[in-house]
A and B are shown apart, each in its own frame.
Chain A
Amino acid sequence: MSAPTSAKPPFLGFGLGLRAEHYADILDGDPAIDWFEVISENYMVPGGQPLKMLDRIRERWPVVMHGVSMSIASTAEPDLDYLNGLKALADRVEPRWISDHLCWTGVHGKNLHDLLPIPYTRESLDHVCDRIDLVQNALGRTLTLENVSTYVRFAEADMTEWEFISEMSRRSGCWLLFDVNNVYVSSFNHGYDPLEFLNGIPQDRVVQFHMAGHEHLGTHIIDTHDREVCADVWELYRHALKRFGPVSTIIERDADIPPLAEIMVEVEETRRIAAEVLPPESLARAAA
């Protein structure tokens, strides 16, 4: 079945991953945030405060839905209840796009609440593309998928991660969320040049960047989202801007969440670097 295709989502500017800790400061203030990414599952609840807060946010800012448990690469039967719940939330929120991760989270009726790695093989590529078709048809819109941080590689892989992602996007039509930190983490853990990954991704498929912090353990890096973005990832962000142009960007923080004012320093940094790297007319054109 052919997947629904939609026009490339617009450039939204420089945003933040919405966290409950910041609700009051965001809604009572006027932070210089262009848009918010929300964790879909946090709002896939019957009612109450979370949905009321989200309604108030979306009245004032563009919102994108980002899920953590679609498990697009799982070989388990598709979870239609989950997809129906996601679609119901999307009908309420009207997000600019919906994203999740290129990973699986469980099989055999279990969910490990983690973003688990896949072997980059023809077999898994066929499977993932079939599932993307299914999801895009269920949601009635084009999906956006993110590269995850990985810690292991599979001996049976017959292509690189960037070759897999590029082919997946070409075949399925899905957009790409390029997580700059995840590219850095995986490149260190597996011993390749992050620029090789970056330059292997098609320029016209990336609609969003993620920026986040990680924990460096010397022999490997863990994707923790519990601290500031490091200098190397900022440098990779510069390269990403040069290759992909103006791309909607957010800062992600999921643990040790600081006050909004502190995290705004990083949001401003994404904006400042983009203004430095990109010609002014390209940012203005993208924002128009």
Chain B
Amino acid sequence: MRGFAALQGAFQNAILTGDDAVLAGLLDGPKEGREALLAVYRHAYSARLVEILASDFPALKAVLGDDGFETAARAYVSAHPSTHRNARWYGRGFADFLARTEPWSDRAEFGELACFETALADAFDAADLGPLTLADLAAVPPEHWGDLIFSVDPSASRLDLATNAIELWSSAAEGADPPLAAPLAATEKLIVWRDGATPMYRAMTDEEAMLWDEAARGSTFGELCVLAATFAAPDEAAGRAAGYLASWIGAGLLAQARPAEVS
């Protein structure tokens, strides 16, 4: 087994690092030398991973252009050999890579656009759970609503965007020329999720985003109402919180509700 294992290590090394040591154990083909034949595997490795990224990040590719995307993708491939059996998960670190690696980190829209496309992909095949319905909620006596805590839908991701990444994505999705990237005057609070089979997104107000984040952390509905009262018009806080809750349920953003455990 040691010989076979060593051979596999050398072969993988040849592909990942360009080390030619494995060539000594290979034969020339009838019409092509062993170097050129080994190069088939070397080329296929990076080409396949770049292709996977291109498929997962079509809007980013449109914004960066074919050559710009290829450069960014190859840099990611070099820095991050895949550790996943399933290629579906290979691009999960791409947004983070762009956000912290020069020169892409100098342009926040690249990382944010990749982050948004990752959220859409995650929403697409997230676990099926729920959704929570208004009928489920109606079955809970009103006096117990304050103790309810919610499970957000597994497809939901909350993003804070400092650039017009969504505008860039929209123009790419329509096949239009992308607008100039620009910072936003105020951070855009966004929610991405799947409604039925379709990934969706919409903006949230600062108050709604704050309450959503708290709900996702396991705060009770009563605590959300208190929090809303600190944000604006305390007398109307419970009504506003109930309004958000109804809209989340209507959109399929919540999976379950259950009473908080009494300690």
Chain A residues engaging chain B, CB cutoff 8 angstroms? 41-42, 44-52, 69, 71, 74-75, 79, 82, 104-114, 116, 118-119, 121, 123-124, 127, 151-156, 189-191, 218-220, 222
CB distance from B117 to the nearest CB of A (A): 16
Residues of B contacting A118 with CB < 8 Å? 4
The answer to whether A48 and B125 touch (CB under 8 A), given A75-B1, A104-B8, A154-B27, is yes
Mind listing 13 A-B residue pairs with CB under 8 Å?
Answer: A46-B127, A46-B128, A48-B123, A49-B197, A74-B8, A106-B12, A111-B81, A112-B45, A151-B40, A152-B34, A189-B32, A220-B37, A222-B40
Contact B41 A116 (CB under 8 A): yes
Residues of B contacting A156 with CB < 8 Å? 3, 7, 25
Residues of B contacting A41 with CB < 8 Å? 85-88
CB distance from A119 to the nearest CB of B (A): 6
In B147-197, the 8 Å CB interface with A consists of 154-155, 194, 197
SS of A interface (majority) = loop
Contact A124 B9 (CB under 8 A): no
The answer to whether A111 and B26 touch (CB under 8 A), given A47-B125, A75-B1, A151-B37, is no
Sorting the interface of chain B by its residue count into under 10, 10 to 19, 20 to 34 or 35 or more gives: 35 or more
Residue of A nearest to B39 (CB): A151
CA distance A82 to B15 in the complex (A): 24
For residue B142, CB closer than 8 A to chain A, the reply is no
CB distance from A111 to the nearest CB of B (A): 5
Partner of B155, one of A48, A52, A218: A48
CB distance from B162 to the nearest CB of A (A): 29
For residue B83, CB closer than 8 A to chain A, the reply is yes
- Greatest chain A CB density within 10 A among B9, B25, B86, B126 is at B86
Contact B126 A48 (CB under 8 A): yes
Contact B29 A190 (CB under 8 A): yes
In B16-46, the 8 Å CB interface with A consists of 16, 25-27, 29-32, 34, 36-38, 40-41, 44-45
Contact B26 A155 (CB under 8 A): yes
- Greatest chain B CB density within 10 A among A50, A121, A220 is at A220
For residue B262, CB closer than 8 A to chain A, the reply is no
The answer to whether A124 and B4 touch (CB under 8 A), given A79-B85, A82-B85, A189-B37, is yes
CB distance from B84 to the nearest CB of A (A): 6
Chain B residues engaging chain A, CB cutoff 8 angstroms? 1, 3-5, 7-9, 11-12, 15-16, 25-27, 29-32, 34, 36-38, 40-41, 44-45, 48-49, 52, 81-88, 90, 123-129, 154-155, 194, 197
Residues of A contacting B31 with CB < 8 Å? 191, 218-220
Contact B38 A52 (CB under 8 A): no
CB distance from B47 to the nearest CB of A (A): 10
Residues of B contacting A124 with CB < 8 Å? 4
Contact A189 B29 (CB under 8 A): yes
Contact A191 B30 (CB under 8 A): yes
Residue of A nearest to B48 (CB): A113
The answer to whether A152 and B44 touch (CB under 8 A), given A108-B9, A111-B82, A111-B85, is no
CA distance A155 to B29 in the complex (A): 11
Contact B125 A46 (CB under 8 A): yes
CA distance A167 to B81 in the complex (A): 34
- Greatest chain A CB density within 10 A among B16, B41, B124 is at B41
Contact B12 A152 (CB under 8 A): no
CA distance A142 to B155 in the complex (A): 36
Residues of A contacting B81 with CB < 8 Å? 110-112
CA distance A217 to B88 in the complex (A): 30
Known pairs A48-B124, A82-B85, A189-B37 / 10 extra A-B pairs, C-beta < 8 Å: A48-B127, A110-B12, A110-B82, A110-B83, A112-B81, A114-B44, A114-B45, A123-B4, A127-B4, A152-B29
Contact A110 B4 (CB under 8 A): no
Residues of A contacting B126 with CB < 8 Å? 46-48
Contact B1 A123 (CB under 8 A): yes
Residue of A nearest to B197 (CB): A49
Q: What are the nearest 3 A-B pairs in CB distance?
A: A191-B30, A46-B127, A47-B128
Residues of B contacting A222 with CB < 8 Å? 40
Partner of A152, one of B37, B82, B85, B127: B37
CB distance from A85 to the nearest CB of B (A): 8
CA distance A204 to B98 in the complex (A): 53
CA distance A219 to B32 in the complex (A): 6
Contact B4 A75 (CB under 8 A): yes
- Greatest chain A CB density within 10 A among B31, B34, B83, B125 is at B125
Partner of B5, one of A75, A79, A114, A189: A75
- Greatest chain B CB density within 10 A among A74, A114, A127, A152 is at A152
Contact B4 A69 (CB under 8 A): no
Residues of B contacting A153 with CB < 8 Å? 26-27, 29
CB distance from B50 to the nearest CB of A (A): 11
Residue of A nearest to B23 (CB): A152
Partner of A69, one of B85, B123, B129, B155: B85
Residues of B contacting A218 with CB < 8 Å? 31
